[in-house]
Amino acid sequence: MSEKLQKVLARAGIGSRREMEQVISAGRVSVDGEIAKLGDRVEESAVLRVDGKVIAVRKESEAICRVLAYHKPEGEVCTRKDPEGRPTVFERLPKMRNARWIAVGRLDLNTSGLLLFTTDGELASRLMHPSYELEREYAVRIFGEVTKEMLQNLKKGVMLDDGLASFDSIVNAGGEGQNHWYHVTLHEGKHREVRRLWESQGVLVSRLIRVRYGNTLLPRRLPHGAWMELPLEDVNVLRKTVALDEETRTVLDPSKEKENKPNSHRLRRTADRSRTRQNQRRGNSQTKRKGR
């Protein structure tokens, strides 16, 4: 049976379904040597290429939906490669064959906290789609005086450059002096929305941490820069939330609980290697500039 081309590419782990639609529309995909167009359906035997590179197509029955919870530190960018040589969120993730990790949304350079990754492009696409209205929760440290009027404005709605925005809820989490913590929730993912909302009231966001995405909480003992794979039960909670069938398989061994816990020592070594690579790239760039 044939399937939609963007669905097959998303399952191959190249990106989300929406991203694949854009790639197809740009004429970067070919099917059996012919440039594909949006709306094409393909058979299992088809040879698919993206930017001329053959894509290993997986049958739906062969693909296992995996999800990682990653504790993003400040200073990492949410791209696979950065032209400025900055560390990326993908550098510390476990390597895979014939599959790729797809980020569920993004976090700004100066924002830390929970970032989900999955091998299932359809799951990633639905988790990000506005129609499912998945709630995001952030812990925010505010510098400046916050009044009741400000809180009312933020819940009622503030007109930003790209439209009306508001928080679904705001909870006072304590603090001293000019620094105060709040927990806020919203169900949109506009660029820098949390920061822009607070800044519209004349106060400064000095720390921003995402602590929840949908029903998935940032694990308490997960260090910065560490990841852990979600067990099958938690994966299916996410899938159910966006009306996808249950996954029945997992790569985790329930009898070996340690395999599903963050390995801080391994992660520190991975981080050190990442920093070494970044320094080498910066050094090479500086050498090239001097040569010119």
What string of H, E and C letters represents the secondary structure of the chain? CCEEHHHHHHHCCCCCHHHHHHHHHCCCEEECCEECCCCCEECCCCCEEECCEECCCCCCCCCCCCEEEEEECCCCECCCCCCCCCCECCCCCCCCCCCCCEEECCCCCCCEEEEEEECCHHHHHHHHCHHHCCCEEEEEEEECCCCHHHHHHHHHCEEECCEEECCCEEEEEEEECCEEEEEEEECCCCCCHHHHHHHCCCCEEEEEEEEEECCEECCCCCCCCCEEECCHHHHHHHHHHCCCCCCCCCCCCCCCHHHHCCCHHHHHHHHHHHHHHHHHHHHHHHHHHHHC
- Tell me the range of 48-52, 251-255, 288-292 where mean pLDDT is highest: 48-52
Higher pLDDT, 222 or 273: 222
Q: What is the pLDDT of residue 208?
A: 98
The answer, yes or no, to whether residue 218 has pLDDT greater than 70, is yes
Cβ atoms within 10 Å of 86's Cβ, excluding its own: 15
* CA dihedral angle for residue 183, residue 187, residue 193, residue 196, rounded to 10 degrees: -50
The answer, yes or no, to whether residue 83 has pLDDT greater than 50, is yes
pLDDT band at 14 (very low <50, low <70, confident <90, very high): confident
What is the percentage of the chain residues whose pLDDT exceeds 90? 62
The answer, yes or no, to whether residue 290 has pLDDT greater than 60, is no
pLDDT band at 99 (very low <50, low <70, confident <90, very high): confident
Lowest mean pLDDT among 56-65, 107-116, 124-133, 208-217: 56-65
Q: What is the pLDDT of residue 292?
A: 45
CATH topology of domain 135-213: Pseudouridine synthase (3.30.2350)
Tell me the pTM.
Answer: 0.77
Higher pLDDT, 95 or 272: 95
Q: What is the pLDDT of residue 150?
A: 97
pLDDT band at 63 (very low <50, low <70, confident <90, very high): confident
Q: What is the pLDDT of residue 164?
A: 93
CATH class of 67-130+217-270: alpha beta
Where along the chain do its domains lie? 3-54, 67-130+217-270, 135-213
Average pLDDT in the 19-24 region? 92
Does 108 qualify as catalytic in the annotation?
yes
- Kindly name the residue from 32, 51, 82, 108 that is annotated as catalytic: 108
Q: Round the average pLDDT of the chain to a whole number and report it.
A: 86
Say if 3-54 and 135-213 have the same CATH topology. Answer: no
Average pLDDT in the 214-225 region? 94
The answer, yes or no, to whether residue 125 has pLDDT greater than 70, is yes
Q: What is the pLDDT of residue 289?
A: 45
Q: pLDDT of 200-209, one tens digit each?
A: 999 999 999 9
- Assign domain 3-54 one CATH number from 3.10.290.10, 1.10.10.10, 3.30.70.940, 3.40.50.720: 3.10.290.10
Q: What is the pLDDT of residue 287?
A: 46
